[in-house]
C-alpha cells in the first residue's frame, strides 16, 4: 500500500523551546487519512533531520494504523469462509 506523508505542522513547542512539534497527515492509496504529531529535540538539526526523527518516532503508530485497515472494504463470503 502506498502512503503519502504531508507535513501539516512544523512549529516550536510553546511549552518547551528545545522541542519542535511536527505533524503528519498520512494518506493511503484509498484516500484514508491518519493524523499524528510528534515532538522532537530541535538542537542544531536541519528541517529534514527533524522530520526524519519525527517520522521515526511516529512510524510504529502509522504501521499499526495501516495494519488495522488491512481487511476494511474486503468482501466476505460466509459460504466459503473466505474473502472474495
pTM over 0.75? The answer is: yes
Q: Quick one: pLDDT at residue 13? A: 80
Of 48, 53, 45, 42, the residue nearest 11 (C-alpha) = 42
Alpha-carbon gap, residue 26 to 78, rounded angstroms:
33
Q: Quick one: pLDDT at residue 1? A: 74
Alpha-carbon gap, residue 21 to 36, rounded angstroms:
10
Q: Quick one: pLDDT at residue 65? A: 97
* Model pLDDT for residues 24-83, shown as the tens digit of each residue: 999 999 999 999 999 999 999 999 999 999 999 999 999 999 999 989 889 999 999 999
Q: Quick one: pLDDT at residue 17? A: 87
- For cell 527533524, the residue is 50
Amino acid at each position: 500500500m502506498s502512503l503519502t506523508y504531508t507535513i501539516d505542522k512544523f512549529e516550536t513547542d510553546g511549552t518547551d523551546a528545545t522541542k519542535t512539534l511536527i505533524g503528519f497527515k498520512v494518506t493511503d492509496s484509498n484516500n484514508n487519512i491518519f493524523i499524528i504529531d510528534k515532538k522532537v529535540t530541535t538542537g542544531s538539526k536541519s528541517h529534514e533531520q527533524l522530520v526524519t526523527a519525527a517520522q521515526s518516532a511516529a512510524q510504529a503508530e502509522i504501521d499499526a494504523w495501516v495494519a488495522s485497515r488491512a481487511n476494511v472494504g474486503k468482501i466476505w463470503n460466509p459460504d466459503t469462509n473466505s474473502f472474495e
